[in-house]
């Protein structure tokens, strides 16, 4: 049965090759002091920075910058950004980059007018913002996280070996996001494929839970089929606009709060992947890829029916002559072949994890209870060891 829910997503999207032409109109709705946030320099190399700063100038904005937001943004960098945003009396934050820059900008937005330490308040105590929130807009340059249309904000604390996500409410979601698939064309293939797997896994996290017949699962199956199709084209020809645009749009729908409505969700691959990230600082999508197959093969006996449905509906495997268990396993085998086609990293060792880290990674893994099997710590250690 589909559970009760409310649904509202306040983020306005502009999609396509001329999406940036709407930035000026959006910016005029906000105050003069803009904080421009970006990453380690890709936007300077590919010209997006110049394009945006010209628009900011045209709008007469008074701009301060926070640059060097790293993949897996840190608590330390967050504190630095909050300082800059306060000093600039920031009216609006413009995030130009991938999920890291968008997530980071949201974290700054809820912390500018807050005197407490942002890590402690939002990522240790999971409190909700009780201060003025500075509005955020995004210009997305990498498809994957869905951060452009959700309230998620993941921050890493290296001293504490923790990588924690806070899902903020509607009032923190971007006011608008500009999605131009061309902007993603300069991504290295490794990042493109990591993003593709992140999208796939967001859908799986919301799909592998519950036994009900509900609309969300049908939407998810369609999204997964489309993603697999587009990814096979993009990996052969990364410049294929049609494939890249479909990937970008799927990323948004995979995690913009729609497909989780009215159903339970799992999210254990992300909990494992984030704990790995806290220890290795590896690329998010690759941490998910490395733990996924051992995790799904471990929980398969507890959710065999759904894994069998996944095999048939997503991978097109003929169920004739197969038990549910055989069909379910064939689905995961098909996913494994596809992951190899994309060149995803399928073990933690390649990401820099070592056997002596396993206990610590297990300690850093939050255990959730929405999936087919609530894991205990020993099972987490077992899955992590199988992922090495
Ligand atoms: O820093 P620059 O120089 O810009 O380079 C970035 C970075 O090195 C590069 N890049 C981005 N766009 C590019 C480009 N290079 C060339 N051309 C372009 N157009 O790609 C690298 C990775 O960028 P990043 O933003 O880190 O990747 P992603 O979008 O995967 O974001 C990852 C972060 O998002 C969090 C992850 O945990 C991680 O911290 N997540 C956020 C979620 C959310 N908000 O709901 C959910 C996700 O599950 C995820 O946890
Ligand atoms: Zn993810």
Per-residue model confidence as pLDDT tens digits over 277-303:
999 999 999 999 999 999 999 999 999
> Torsion angle, CA of 92/97/98/100, rounded to 10 degrees?
-60
* Pocket perturbation via mutation, ligand 1, pick of 47, 142, 201 by most ligand atoms within 8 A of CB: 142
In whole angstroms, what is the distance from residue 292 CA to residue 294 CA? 6
pLDDT at 223: 98
- With the C-alpha atoms ordered 317, 319, 324, 325, is the resulting torsion angle positive or negative? negative
As for ligand 1, residues whose beta carbon falls within 6 Å of it are 39-43, 46, 71-72, 97-101, 103, 141-142, 144-147, 150, 152-154, 165, 183-184, 186-187, 191, 195, 198, 255, 270, 284
pLDDT at 87: 98
pLDDT at 2: 85
- Specify the ligand 1 atom closest to the Cα of 41: 3
Q: Assign 211 a pLDDT band (cuts: 50, 70, 90).
A: confident
Inform me whether the pLDDT recorded for 311 exceeds 90. Answer: yes
- Specify the ligand 1 atom closest to the Cα of 155: 39
CATH superfamily of this structure's domain 189-387: Dehydroquinate synthase-like - alpha domain (1.20.1090.10)
Q: What is the mean pLDDT of residues 378-384?
A: 98
Residue nearest to atom 28 of ligand 1 (CA): 99
In whole angstroms, what is the distance from residue 241 CA to residue 246 CA? 8
Kindly report, residue by residue over 19-59, the tens digit of the pLDDT.
Answer: 999 999 999 999 999 999 999 999 999 999 999 999 999 99
Inform me whether the pLDDT recorded for 317 exceeds 90. Answer: yes
Q: Which fold has domain 12-183?
A: Rossmann fold (3.40.50)
**Which ligand is nearest to the Cα of residue 181, counting in written order?**
1
In whole angstroms, what is the distance from residue 127 CA to residue 92 CA? 23
Q: What is the mean pLDDT of residues 230-257?
A: 98
pLDDT at 237: 98
**Which ligand is nearest to the Cα of residue 101, counting in written order?**
1
Residues 6+ apart with CB under 8 A from 326: none
Residues 6+ apart with CB under 8 A from 319: 308, 311, 312, 327
Q: Which residues of 298-309 are buried (b: 16+ CB within 10 A; e: fewer)?
A: bbbeebbebbbb
How far is residue 23 from each of residues 4, 178, 181, 245, measured CA to CA in Å? Answer: 36, 8, 16, 19
Parse the chain into domains and list their residue ranges.
12-183, 189-387
Residue count (the chain): 388
Inform me whether the pLDDT recorded for 1 exceeds 90. Answer: no
Inform me whether the pLDDT recorded for 93 exceeds 90. Answer: yes
Q: Assign 216 a pLDDT band (cuts: 50, 70, 90).
A: very high
* H/E run at residue 138: strand 136-140
DSSP letter (8 states) at residue 376:
-
- Specify the ligand 1 atom closest to the Cα of 274: 37
Token pair in block for residue 64: 């301060």
Kindly report, residue by residue over 230-240, the tens digit of the pLDDT.
Answer: 999 999 999 99
Query: 0.75 cut: is pTM over it?
Result: yes
Residues lining ion ligand 2 (Cβ < 5 A) are: 198
Q: Assign 212 a pLDDT band (cuts: 50, 70, 90).
A: confident
DSSP-assigned beta bridge partners for residue 165: 154
Q: What's the 99 CA to ligand 1 centre distance in angstroms?
A: 4
């Amino acid at each position: 049965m589909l559970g009760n829910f409310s649904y509202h997503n306040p983020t306005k999207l502009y999609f396509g090759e001329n999406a940036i032409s709407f930035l000026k109109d959006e910016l005029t709705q906000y105050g003069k002091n803009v904080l421009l946030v970006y990453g380690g320099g890709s936007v300077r190399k590919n010209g997006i920075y110049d394009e945006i700063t010209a628009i900011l100038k045209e709008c007469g904005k008074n701009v301060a910058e926070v640059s060097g937001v790293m993949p897996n943004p840190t608590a330390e960098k967050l504190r630095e950004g909050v300082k800059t945003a306060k000093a600039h009396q920031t009216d609006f934050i413009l995030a130009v980059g991938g999920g890291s820059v968008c997530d980071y900008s949201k974290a700054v937005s809820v912390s500018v007018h807050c005197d407490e330490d942002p890590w402690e308040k939002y990522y240790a105590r999971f409190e909700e913002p009780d201060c003025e929130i500075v509005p955020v807009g995004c210009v997305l340059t990498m498809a994957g996280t869905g951060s452009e249309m959700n309230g998620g904000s993941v921050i890493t604390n290296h001293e504490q070996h923790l990588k924690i996500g806070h899902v903020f409410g509607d009032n923190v979601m971007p006011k608008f996001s500009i999605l131009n698939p061309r902007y993603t064309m300069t991504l290295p293939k490794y990042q493109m494929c990591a993003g593709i797997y992140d999208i796939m896994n967001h859908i799986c996290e919301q799909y592998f839970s519950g036994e009900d017949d509900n609309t969300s699962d049908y939407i998810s199956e369609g999204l997964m089929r489309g993603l697999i199709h587009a990814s096979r084209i993009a990996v052969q020809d990364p410049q294929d606009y049609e494939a890249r645009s479909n990937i970008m749009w799927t990323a948004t729908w995979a995690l913009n709060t729609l497909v989780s409505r009215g159903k339970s969700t799992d999210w254990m691959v992300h909990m494992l992947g984030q704990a790995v990230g806290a220890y290795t600082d590896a690329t998010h999508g690759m941490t998910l890829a490395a733990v996924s197959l051992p995790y799904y093969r471990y929980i398969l006996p507890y959710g065999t029916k759904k894994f069998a449905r996944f095999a048939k509906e997503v991978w097109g495997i003929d169920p004739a002559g197969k038990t549910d268990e055989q069909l379910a396993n064939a689905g995961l085998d098909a996913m494994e072949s596809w992951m190899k086609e994309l060149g995803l990293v399928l073990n933690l060792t390649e990401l820099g994890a070592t056997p002596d880290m396993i206990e610590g990674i297990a300690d850093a893994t939050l255990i959730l209870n929405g999936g087919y099997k609530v894991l205990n710590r020993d099972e987490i250690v077992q899955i992590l060891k199988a992922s090495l």
